[in-house]
Amino acid sequence: MASLPRTSRAAVLSAPRQRVEIREIEILPPEAGAIVAKVEAATVCGTDVHIWEGDLQPEWPVGMGHEMVGRVAALGEGVVRDAADQPLQPGDRIVWAYPWCGKCYYCTIARQPSLCPNARMNGWRSAEKYPFLCGGFAEYCYILPQCRPVKVPDEVDSKVASSATCALRTVVHGFERLHAYGGIGVEPSVVILGTGPVGLYSLAMAIVSGAGQTISIGAPQRRIDLAHKWGATHTINLDEVTDSRERVEMVKKWTEGRGADLVIDAAGPAQAFSDGIEMIRRGGRMLVIGQATKKTVPFNPRMINHEMLEIIGVVSAHVTHFYKAMQFLKNHGERFNFSDMITNEYPLARVTEALQSMAALQEIKPAIIPTMS
Ligand SMILES: [Zn+2]
Ligand SMILES: [Zn+2]
């Protein structure tokens, strides 16, 4: 414990569209069950951009960042193993799940902890309230006793592991939800709406899960190129094919006129949902992961029964999905070069530029490296 510094630099946003400031924040020694981790790498999620743009309302002033990987700096009393029963020691690289309460209806009876109303999400909380250091864009993070840590396999790069702590673990959770509804099937045709990190991870997971045909739809060209490189059988660049009816026709043409067995909505705009519904075959399914808008779109509910559509949603993830995301990266790192997604590195002082660059779609996944100056 003596090795812990007294304070940590941390990126704090006081109001939307402000410049992210770097504050010196006290590092509390870990209470029983807690961990203090030194952040090795953090990554910017689309949600961080939505917070910065004012679309989402965190506690202000917010300690930013919810995708991160740290090295154990200090262990609180009683912390000896990670969630997968592996021994945990100072210096180990870890990711960690959110602190669900473990006591409410959603945590216990429904067993859907990602719906826990008492969760205190990293990257959403005030930097002025206990335990102060909950955001990943910081030198150190305080990991509450309710969070479960998962060790990062040696084979997995820290920036890639970081990108998995929101994007990939949610995709893993989504695919698990699909399995609850009969799996993805044998050689299905899969449309993936969105070529950001959630869309690219969905593509990789669809391929590994046995998709026969994968159609990635997104923009700009750099992301489309990556979807191709990772194995998408077809792609549509939204900047080139701007008419949604034309996109639907292209998907129909590639799927023998029927439409896809499964559409994964890993985009942000509400329009993507409307497009996706038109792309599903009769009796097909849609997994909604990426919707981030408050905008509504017209939808005829009769399609659900007459066309026998299944629409499945997912939010966030449980500790099991963090673990499986790490295993996915370890097991398929040779098939997919996941580092392709990390397009830049920024020091803490330039978090604002990273957010601006992400908002302008100039990045796929920028990394924040707290030790960089
Ligand atoms: Zn709960
Ligand atoms: Zn996120």
More confident residue, 335 or 2: 335
Interval between CA 87 and ligand 1 midpoint (Å)? 27
CA distance 216 to 193: 6
Do 80 and 106 contact (CB within 8 A), yes or no? Answer: no
Does residue 22 sit within a domain? Answer: yes
Assigned domain for 166 exists: no
CA 114 to ligand 1 center in whole angstroms:
8
User: Which numbered ligand comes closest to the C-alpha of 197?
Assistant: 2
**CATH code assigned at 208:** 3.40.50.720
User: Is 86 among the domain residues?
Assistant: yes
Residues 226 and 304 in one domain: yes
CATH of residue 20:
3.90.180.10
What percent of the chain has pLDDT above 70? 99
The CA distance from 191 to 281, in Å, is 11
Distance 316 CA to ligand 1 centre (A): 14
Q: Which domain holds residue 349?
A: 7-155+333-368
Sheet architecture: strand order including 62-63: 21-26, 7-13, 62-63
Token couple for 141: 């993070």
Together in a domain, 30 and 131: yes
Residue 278 lies in a domain: yes
Q: What is the pLDDT of residues 82-91, one digit of tens each?
A: 999 999 999 9
How far is the centre of ligand 1, averaged over its atoms, from the C-alpha of 13 (Å)? 27
Number of domains into which the chain is organized: 2
> Residue 190 C-alpha to ligand 2 middle, in angstroms?
23
**Is the domain of 118 the same as that of 247?**
no
Half-sphere exposure of 48 (CA within 13 A, CB side): 35
Q: Are residues 20 and 149 in the same domain?
A: yes
For residue 107, which ligand has an atom nearest its CA? Answer: 1
Is the Cβ–Cβ distance between 282 and 308 less than 8 Å? Answer: yes
Task: Give the SS3 label for residue 234.
Answer: strand
Q: State whether 134 and 243 are in the same domain.
A: no
Distance 186 CA to ligand 2 centre (A): 30
Residues 11 and 144 in one domain: yes
Q: What is d(CA 227, CA 57) in angstroms, rounded to the nearest whole number?
A: 32
Q: Is residue 163 part of a domain?
A: no
Q: How many A from CA of 67 to the centre of ligand 2? A: 7
Evaluate whether residue 139 is within a structural domain. Answer: yes
d(CA 210, CA 200): 16
Q: Write the pLDDT tens digit of every residue in 298-357.
A: 999 999 999 999 999 999 999 999 999 999 999 999 999 999 999 999 999 999 999 999
Do residue 196 and residue 250 come from a single domain?
yes
How large is the average pLDDT for residues 190-218? 97
Cα–ligand 1 centroid distance for 90 (angstroms): 29
Question: Are 145 and 25 contained in the same domain?
Answer: yes
- Say what the pLDDT of residue 1 is: 47
Report yes or no on 2 lying in a domain: no
Work out the pLDDT band at 3, boundaries 50, 70, 90.
confident
Indicate the pairing of strand 7-13 with strand 62-63: antiparallel
